[in-house]
Amino acid sequence: MLDRIRACIPALPPAEQRVAKLVLADPRSFANLPVSELAERSHVSKPTVVRFCRSVGYDGLTDFKRKLAGSVNEGVPFVHRSVDEDDKPGDLIVKVIDNAVSALLKYRNDAANHAFERAIEALTQAGLRGKRIEFYGVGNSGIVALDAQHKFFRLGVHAAAVSDGHVQVMSATMLSPGDCAVIISNSGRSRDLLDVCEIARKKGATTILITASGSLIAQTAVGSQQILLAVDHPEDFERYSPMVSRLLHLTVIDILTTAVALRLPGSLRPMLQEIKKNLRAKRDAQPS
């Protein structure tokens, strides 16, 4: 909701822009203050406050404040940032899905195309040359690494997922120039993954980092062989279970897999077709 308001500012009249800036400066206070005080703080009339709410797509001030309060709440710690303790199942469905959709749309607009181009090219070249593509993650990110392995190995490349810290060190030590180390981390500060970054860099491998832009791991992306695919989101990894971040990381893996599949030789597709055929036969088998 705040992103929408921020995007609308240039198209608003000057008086309504002042109201928008007040919302962005302190959304929680805006949701609770009476219209007279909102008008006074914005240096506009009370009807202007109401017109602003309608200009950005809401029925009026009451509708705007109600939805704003739901947008900026802190949720239930260690459960979900967008829900309340007393939410009914219908409310939970809407809030959880809207939260995920909002994060995906924001990422679509923020994703750096040039970074994706570099990552796709490095992965494609590794696949064409028979080099290794290793996916590293711990905890929840280890699950994303497994999903990446599941998608990439069907492309006929040497792909593996490693989530154990000791095995990660051994795996990274065996990397060489032309190999790709894809490091996935929500917090971006895992000691094990920082070690993998350092070892992979020394071995001359390309590191592709899927993590938050300001994290410790992101700061290791300083050379031509280090590529940062920044994934920023509002989910506080200290207070909430990873939900949106996992969806975003899985989406990044889908983008990479799809792009690499399109660049690999056309002879790959009959093999993918055969895989699907064999899986279908397995699923459709009737008991004797």
Give the pLDDT score at 112.
80
* 247 and 125 both lie in a single domain: yes
Give the pLDDT score at 282.
72
* 119 and 4 both lie in a single domain: no
Q: Is the pLDDT of residue 12 over 60?
A: yes
| % of the chain exceeding 90 in pLDDT | 46
* 68 and 135 both lie in a single domain: no
Give the pLDDT score at 260.
94
* 155 and 51 both lie in a single domain: no
* 66 and 118 both lie in a single domain: no
For 88, phi then psi, to 5°, come to: -85, 160
* 120 and 68 both lie in a single domain: no
Does 41 map to a domain?
yes
- Which of the listed residues 46, 72, 98 is the one where a domain comes to its end? 72
* 263 and 129 both lie in a single domain: yes
Q: 276: burial class by Cβ within 10 Å (0-12, 13-18, 19+)?
A: exposed
| % of the chain exceeding 70 in pLDDT | 88
* 132 and 271 both lie in a single domain: yes
Tens digit of each residue's pLDDT (9 = 90 or more) over 82-96: 666 667 787 777 777
Does 82 map to a domain?
no
Mean pLDDT computed over 227-254? 81
CA angle at residue 11 from 7 to 14, to 5 degrees? 110
Does 166 map to a domain?
yes
If one counts the domains in the chain, the total is 2
Domain of residue 134: give its range: 112-280
* 270 and 146 both lie in a single domain: yes
